[in-house]
Amino acid sequence: MAATQMLLHRPPARTRQRLSATDHVLWMADRAVRRLGGPGFETQTVLRLKARLDADRLQSALDRLGEQYPVVTARLQVAENESAAWWRFMPGARCRIREKWLDSSRSEDVLNAAAALLTARQRLSECDPISFYVLHCPDERDVFIAQYNHTLLDNNAAIPLLAHLNVLADEAASPNPPPGHDSRFVRRHLTRFDCQRRRRAMRDASRSWSRSLRGGVVQLGEPLGRTEAPVELRIQSRQLEPSDVNAFRQRVIETCGFPNLSMAILASAFRAIAQLAPLRPAAKNLMAGIGLDLGIRSKPGPLFGNPVSAVPIRATPEDIVDRDKLVRILGRQFREHLQSNADIGILQLMPFLSRRPADAEVAINLAMREGFSLWYACFGSTDAIGTEFCGAGIEDVFFTGPAWPPMGLTLLVNQFRGRLLFQATFVPACVSEETVARFLDEMMRDLLASRSC
């Protein structure tokens, strides 16, 4: 668990807290994204509400959050040789609501506003690592956005964080102090496994990533020239209704024996990319990095840090011809990674990378520049957030993610009240609006066709 977890419900006497190894590596990934022209390695959780939220209750909740977790208003400091980094606390700083008024309530305009927030470059040395926005729509509804840098927290903490804010917004509630986990939490998790097993898992995970990054990767994006200015990001969305989702899930069960929707969706994404990508003879594989929640977030769990791992999932042009076969291939790869303790291996690898920033930078830059066909995650159901947020009913909950050249495409998927929501963030300078629309439409056709095969 990240070092930020030893923050208790009172501000610490010390003025800074060192990043854990995993958080440090994700900071290096954030820097790699910026060097490629992306504005940062940041993700948004978006709540479309049915009415105006209670801004006073929200501000009260944010004040209490800042008191419990001073890291939410901290600034990042980095050692001269980049071998270590710290959160520097800002005594007296408050989490503030950033309000914006929209001219339209249309979904497309809300997504454009969210994309504009993702596009704006924010430096961790100067800005809060998590920002809270309220977009006021002209139809008397609000949109709440929490935008967070992955140096601070993984996306799996987003819904627990917003649920915690809802508790803090209730002045009558007396929530328990946040858990006092510290940077030793992940190390304790690792010590459950013997040293030989951890080293073997680290070696296997490293080799797996190395093999996956060879041979060229099929991408929709076109390379851009070097630029100091951050590129613009845009967002498009699609959704499947509950009846279609249920039929799709049943087909997945028939195909591979269990409802692994993530791999089935990835199969359709790979097939759509293969149809639309520019012909590049050197590109031999389709590849995505898949995050693994390690299941070590306790309840009530720590809200910040990155207790996650990642494995490569790939397919060849031959694999994608038969969709059901492809779903089985991807599912088998995923299970094999778990059986080989890849999650332990990546955790064991993080301290090694954080101590060797030059080697880590080469590996991370290669992965971000040439390693992926798309940046992809399927986050499951967000229903645990409840029905209201700060006094307003919740209409939709979804995620938008980072994107950067030359890959230029991120697909985040989640389920809410039976519907599957798909958000594609993209760089229009290297993947056009038309191409992204065709990608999403082809995915939807492939998913819907699969339910009746």
User: What is the per-residue pLDDT for 324?
Assistant: 93
pLDDT in tens, 296-312: 665 555 678 887 778 89
Residue 156 pLDDT:
86
Query: How far apart are alpha carbons 370 and 223 in whole angstroms?
Result: 10
Residues in the chain: 453
Domain holding 151: CATH number?
3.30.559.30
59-68, 187-196, 304-313, 338-347 — which is least confidently predicted? 187-196
In whole angstroms, what is the distance from residue 188 CA to residue 1 CA?
9
> Model's pTM, two decimal places?
0.92
Residue 161 near residue 71 (C-beta atoms within 8 A): no
Domain span at 83: 3-450
- Phi/psi region, residue 410 (left: phi>0; alpha: psi -120 to 50; beta: rest), is beta
Looking at residue 12, its pLDDT comes to: 47
**Tens digits of per-residue pLDDT, 24-82?**
999 999 999 999 999 999 999 999 999 999 999 999 999 999 988 899 999 999 988 88
Predicted confidence at residue 267, as pLDDT, reads 96
Nearest to 161 by CA among 242, 271, 45, 25: 45
Reported as a pLDDT band with limits 50, 70 and 90, residue 177 is low
- Determine the Cα–Cα distance for residues 34 and 80; give it in Å rounded to an integer: 19
* DSSP string across 31-45: HHHHHTT-S-SEEEE
| pLDDT, mean of residues 96-124 | 96
pLDDT in tens, 278-294: 877 777 789 998 887 76
Domain tally, the chain? 1
Backbone angle region of 361, left / alpha / beta, with phi > 0 → left and psi within -120 to 50 → alpha:
alpha
Over 80: is that where the pLDDT of 232 sits?
yes
In this predicted structure, what is the pLDDT of residue 333? 92
User: Judging by beta carbons within 10 Å of its beta carbon (0-12, 13-18, 19+), is residue 173 exposed, middle or buried?
Assistant: exposed
User: What are the residues whose beta carbons fall under 8 Å from the beta carbon of 105, sequence distance 6 or more?
Assistant: 137, 138, 139, 141
